[in-house]
Structure 1
Amino acid sequence: MTQDEKPFSRVMAVTTLAMLAFAGNSLLNRVALLETDIDAATFTTIRLVSGSAVLWLISIHRSSAQPAEGNWLSALALFVYAAGFSFAYISLSAATGALLLFAAVQTTMLGYGLWQGERLTAVQWLGFGFAISGLLGLLLPGLSAPPLVGSVLMLAAGVAWGIYSIRGKTAGDPVLATTGNFLRAVPFTLVLSVIMLGRLSPDWSGVGYAVLSGAIASGLGYVMWYSVLPALQATTAATVQLSVPVIAAIGGVLFLGESISLRLFLASIAILGGIALVLSKKG
């Protein structure tokens, strides 16, 4: 049975699990930095190392005759994403961080498409305008504005992930490419840990959250996503990711006691609704 012939219920179930895993990264990172003593550099390193280990084992099981793929530039983008993500969650809530990340990823990929000659319809430009307005409204100074440094770091992480995703479109086997990129990202994160040596603060609970983030939410999450991606239309695949910030927001309220401000709520509607309009005409 090919990927495209998989039962619809199985595709939807695996897709749902993948989206939960992606949102779980935000929750695990935030709770680790909020409730344990682990530092962001150590969290990043353990996340990438544990993710590399799981992906390597899966790659060996799936195709023992083929080496891991990937390249150093994609690995650098992966590292910048993971590091910016972790350091941003020192100050951002799970919901705000996920929203900023998602907005930056989609804007980066949309910008690349425009640079490559893609054209938007009037409805898509309207959606793009809504999304940018929502992002600016969220970041404008005010009592309920998210911390500037954390916001910039998360936006940088989103741009890096957008670049990683763009480069991944031309990769061969996505699991082998992801494995190779994770393995290549480990030296970068080890250098970061050495640079931050004076501020390292390992914590067993925090280490556990980092392992879950790397091995389960990242490693297994990516494998699940890539396993169903061929069975989804491009528009569906892009649109379903709109659920990630929503899931992260709900998880933040239920498990971390976070609140959703009116500014964040309105910005979420503008950003996610605007992006949905852009994606509605893309196939």
Structure 2
Amino acid sequence: MASDSLNFFKVIALTLITLIAFAGNSVFCRLALKDNLIDPMSYTSIRLTAGAFVLYFIMRITTKKKSIVLKKSWTGAVSLFIYAITLSYAYQSVETGIGAVILFGAVQLTIIIFGLVDGRKLNNREWLGAMIAFLGFVYLLDPNASSASILGISLMAISGVAWGIYTISGLKGTQPLFQTYQNFVWTLPMVVIILLMNNGNEKFSYEGVFYAIMSGGITSALGYAIWYKTMKYYSHIQAAVVQLFVPIVASFGGVMLVSEPLTTELAISSLLILGGSFLLIQKKEYENLTSQSR
């Protein structure tokens, strides 16, 4: 029993680290693109490349194999790339907190829909929680409650769907570090394509490059590897909803680091989303999943 409690709190601790890393991605991206310190394509390219390099060196240090053999991982790689490129363009016009709410609201819907299609049934409490959280998401999209552009909102929603697919692709993974490394490496051919498309339109600054490297090498590469490691302890629904805590952290990051206002609308939306989340996350269900994964 004590061991189960320890395992539970260890997973919660790793999850919190992951969610802070996810929020860091939003803050870094907004810092870099709000004032055009770097163009979106260059930011995405540097971010994904930095992530691949950091994960490569970690793999070399932690594995005893002389060579690392890659397997095809196009679902994870393509969804990771689409998430990253649309996020970069969206954060040119969408504030950090609002962007994170839209992003992870779309993630939630994507994973819940997948779970329902896959035969996962929701009980009354879960339906209530999902509807309350979704209400918070819809409230933020009300033109009278948000000043975000339709294009920015649309790009952020696409980014969220892509991240939802990326999350789903890792739910049954058994080698989280290797799987994350593989996904990053397979984005590099797509990076080459957008670099060719962006030829002559690049815009760089030391700050913009720094934010891209930090996002790719630290909050993305390491954060995603930890996320893939912890996901096996969550159901589809829980994996979706637990990520809705990210907008709260990202909002405070936006206030403190990007000098963005913490609006009443964002606060109301966040409270609705958090309220719905608490109805969906229970320790008892976690313990059932833990026993099933052994």
Per the normalisation by structure 1, the TM-score is 0.88
| Structure 1 counterpart SS, 2:37 | coil
CA distance in 2, matches of 1:4, 1:194: 51
Moved more, 23-32 or 214-223: 214-223
Q: Which residue of 2 aligns with 1:53?
A: 53
Q: CA shift at 1:116, angstroms?
A: 1.1
**Cα-to-partner distance string for 1:198-233 (whole Å, 9 max, x where unaligned):** 432122210111000000111122234445566x56
TM-align CA RMSD: 2.7
Matched, 1:130 2:132: yes
Q: CA shift at 1:189, angstroms?
A: 2.2
Q: Which residue of 2 aligns with 1:214?
A: 216
- Please show how residues 62-141 of structure 1 align to structure 2 within 5 Å: 62-65=62-65, 66-69=68-71, 71-141=73-143
1:54 to 1:69, Cα distance in 2 relative to 1, 3 A: farther
Q: Which residue of 1 aligns with 2:291?
A: none
**Cα-to-partner distance string for 1:66-120 (whole Å, 9 max, x where unaligned):** 5344512221111001111111100111111111111111211111010111111
Q: Which residue of 1 aligns with 2:271?
A: 269
| Structure 1 counterpart SS, 2:187 | helix
CA distance in 2, matches of 1:67, 1:226: 19
Q: Which residue of 2 aligns with 1:23?
A: 23
Amino acid at match of 2:42: T
CA distance in 1, matches of 2:7, 2:76: 33
Q: Which residue of 2 aligns with 1:32?
A: 32
Identity %: 38
Q: Which residue of 2 aligns with 1:254?
A: 256
Q: How many residue pairs were aligned?
A: 280
Report if the CA contact (8 A) 1:123-1:278 is conserved. Answer: yes
| Structure 2 counterpart SS, 1:37 | coil
Q: CA shift at 1:273, angstroms?
A: 2.1
- Can you give the 5+ residue segments of structure 1 that lack an aligned partner in the other structure? none
- Please show how residues 128-277 of structure 1 align to structure 2 within 5 Å: 128-142=130-144, 144-226=146-228, 240-277=242-279
- Can you give the 5+ residue segments of structure 2 that lack an aligned partner in the other structure? 287-294
Q: CA shift at 1:237, angstroms?
A: 6.4
CA distance in 1, matches of 2:47, 2:285: 33
1:174 to 1:155, Cα distance in 2 relative to 1, 3 A: same
Report if the CA contact (8 A) 1:27-1:248 is conserved. Answer: yes
Moved more, 163-172 or 180-189: 163-172
Moved more, 253-262 or 265-274: 265-274
Amino acid at match of 1:50: A
Moved more, 104-113 or 46-55: 104-113
**Cα-to-partner distance string for 1:225-277 (whole Å, 9 max, x where unaligned):** 445566x5658766653432111111111111111222221112222322332
Q: CA shift at 1:8, angstroms?
A: 7.6
CA distance in 1, matches of 2:72, 2:84: 17
CA distance in 1, matches of 2:75, 2:201: 28
Amino acid at match of 1:93: E
Q: CA shift at 1:149, angstroms?
A: 0.8
Per the normalisation by structure 2, the TM-score is 0.85
